[in-house]
């Protein structure tokens, strides 16, 4: 019987060595190995793929794109090269290019688990959830009990408003994970959003038995019973924003049309053209207000619960310091009269009962200082002073808030604003400028 030996891959050892060096972050060794391999085998697309990974690791993203485009010119139907280029465009927030390439590589290898994992990541980065659920279901057809895929599928169905499909995925997730806590929590939250709070209570009872000191469960139990908790648990807010930090600016500013930081920064600088002011940015997030203000001659201090948000804000290079505490803790622990300006933009939407906020805000300001804040407005005839919306934000009645601000001793002016868009619809709010009266001699 005649047998034919497999052809020897004379470049394999060099490629494996370069990949290992990249994995271990030995970039110089990887570069030397790849340069030598490219001289011997200039038409090997694998060399160009690894060169692209090296360029991206070195911060040279344009060079990385060119290297992957070269690899794809050499091998137009080579799935690994197409997938890496699609993923690179996704990491660069170039959604249209990444989705087009993802569709192409998916058409080439629709049953390849690595390809499916990559294209799902691309679709989710582009927030194309209709496409992500299609590809997630294809991936689950290959690995039906994969908990990570089920978790993502439940989330993406929920974003699309396909609540029954999301519930089905969570029910399956609960059966395939060891203790199912993540599935129970996701299912309880979904049932509350569906208006079936009573059905969520058993899952929440099990979760609270497992973690009696976890405030999120008590909060969700109150929601499930139809009550309105006075604020969101700080840990819950921190978790949400830690997860969003990397894409927050792109999502909020470009995706949802968020313009408050620019509006408020322009007003602050018009009132203080010399920039000799101390500003406390409450709930600073990724530092959008600081980026709009630029460097001050005084101090710019950021407050946020999310360490990952603060890491993003620090990149602007304009904040003097940060405090990883809640808005309430920052207000109660800061000494009197330190600041010329306070700002709380899109922050009070995570606090229902605002009664304690404004007396402390007044105390922190110098005479004549101003407090800029925004609220999402509830209907004027709403039965309660504040209500918790399905999106887990509070809307406040304007007369309730204005009454608290004036009672604290501020002089108030306000203007209606569109805070952002949600599912294409404008969200109505109020931008408030509250001024501490100047001292009269």
Give the CATH number of the domain where residue 203 resides.
Answer: 1.25.40
Residue 440 lies in a domain: no
Q: Give the CA count within 13 Å in the CB-facing half-sphere of 11.
A: 19
- Number of separate domains in the chain: 3
Are the C-beta atoms of 198 and 204 separated by less than 8 Å? no
Are the C-beta atoms of 67 and 48 separated by less than 8 Å? yes
Q: Specify whether 283 is located in the same domain as 206.
A: no
Are the C-beta atoms of 315 and 335 separated by less than 8 Å? no
What pLDDT sits at residue 246? Answer: 46
Residue 333 lies in a domain: yes
Q: Specify whether 85 is located in the same domain as 185.
A: no
Concatenating the DSSP letter of every residue in 278-322 gives -EEEET-TTTHHHHHH---SS-EEEE-S-HHHHHHHHTTS--SEE
In whole angstroms, what is the distance from residue 261 CA to residue 247 CA?
17
Are the C-beta atoms of 408 and 331 separated by less than 8 Å? no
pLDDT (tens digit, 9 = 90+) per residue, 121-139? 999 999 899 999 999 999 9
Q: Which domain holds residue 128?
A: 12-137
Residue 7 lies in a domain: no
Q: Specify whether 95 is located in the same domain as 21.
A: yes
Residue 366 lies in a domain: yes
Q: Specify whether 125 is located in the same domain as 170.
A: no
CATH code at position 60: 1.25.40.10
In whole angstroms, what is the distance from residue 177 CA to residue 180 CA?
5
pLDDT (tens digit, 9 = 90+) per residue, 198-228? 999 999 999 999 988 888 888 889 888 888 8
Instruction: Enter the pTM of the model.
Output: 0.69
Residue 395 lies in a domain: yes
For residue 36, how many other CB atoms are within 10 A of its CB? 14
Q: Specify whether 122 is located in the same domain as 179.
A: no
pLDDT (tens digit, 9 = 90+) per residue, 397-417? 999 999 999 999 999 999 998
The SS3 assignment for 341 reads strand
Q: Specify whether 257 is located in the same domain as 402.
A: yes
Task: Using pLDDT thresholds of 50, 70 and 90, give the confidence band for residue 391.
Answer: confident
Task: Using pLDDT thresholds of 50, 70 and 90, give the confidence band for residue 251.
Answer: very low
In whole angstroms, what is the distance from residue 115 CA to residue 352 CA?
45
């Amino acid at each position: 019987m005649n047998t034919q030996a497999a052809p020897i891959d004379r470049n394999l050892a060099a490629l494996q060595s370069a990949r290992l060096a990249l994995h271990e972050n030995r970039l110089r060794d990887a570069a030397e190995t790849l340069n030598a391999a490219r001289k011997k085998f200039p038409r090997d697309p694998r060399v160009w793929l690894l060169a692209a990974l090296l360029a991206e690791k070195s911060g040279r993203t344009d060079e990385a794109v060119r290297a992957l485009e070269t690899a794809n010119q050499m091998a137009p139907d080579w799935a690994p090269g197409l997938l890496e280029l699609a993923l690179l465009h996704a990491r660069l927030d170039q959604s249209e290019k990444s989705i087009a390439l993802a569709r192409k590589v998916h058409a080439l290898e629709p049953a390849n688990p690595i390809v499916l994992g990559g294209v799902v990541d691309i679709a989710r980065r582009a927030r194309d959830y209709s496409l992500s659920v299609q590809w997630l279901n294809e991936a689950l057809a290959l690995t039906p009990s994969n908990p990570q895929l089920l978790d993502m599928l439940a989330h993406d169905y929920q974003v699309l408003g396909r609540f029954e499909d999301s519930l089905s995925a969570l029910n399956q997730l609960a059966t395939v994970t060891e203790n199912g806590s993540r599935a129970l929590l996701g299912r309880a939250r979904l049932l509350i959003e569906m208006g079936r709070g009573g059905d969520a209570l058993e899952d929440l009872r099990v979760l609270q038995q497992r973690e009696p000191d976890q405030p999120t469960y008590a909060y969700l139990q109150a929601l499930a019973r139809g009550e309105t908790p006075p604020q969101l648990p700080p840990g819950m807010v921190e978790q949400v924003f830690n997860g969003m930090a990397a894409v927050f600016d792109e999502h909020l500013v470009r995706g949802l049309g968020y313009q408050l930081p620019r509006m408020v920064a322009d007003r602050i600088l018009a009132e203080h053209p010399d920039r000799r002011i101390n500003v406390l940015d409450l709930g600073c997030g990724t530092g959008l207000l600081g980026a709009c203000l630029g460097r001050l001659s005084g101090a710019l201090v950021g407050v946020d619960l999310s360490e990952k948000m603060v890491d993003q804000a620090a990149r602007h290079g304009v904040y003097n310091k940060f405090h990883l505490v809640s808005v309430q803790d920052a207000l109660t622990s800061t000494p009197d009269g330190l600041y010329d300006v306070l700002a709380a933009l899109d922050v009070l939407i995570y606090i229902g009962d605002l009664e304690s906020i404004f007396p402390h805000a007044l105390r922190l300001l110098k005479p004549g200082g101003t407090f800029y804040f925004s609220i999402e407005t509830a209907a004027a005839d709403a039965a309660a002073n504040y209500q918790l919306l399905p999106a887990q934000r509070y809307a406040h009645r304007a007369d309730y808030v204005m009454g608290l601000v004036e009672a604290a001793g501020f002089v108030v002016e306000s203007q209606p604003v569109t805070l952002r868009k949600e599912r294409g619809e404008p969200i109505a709010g109020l931008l408030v400028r509250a001024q501490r009266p100047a001292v009269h001699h």
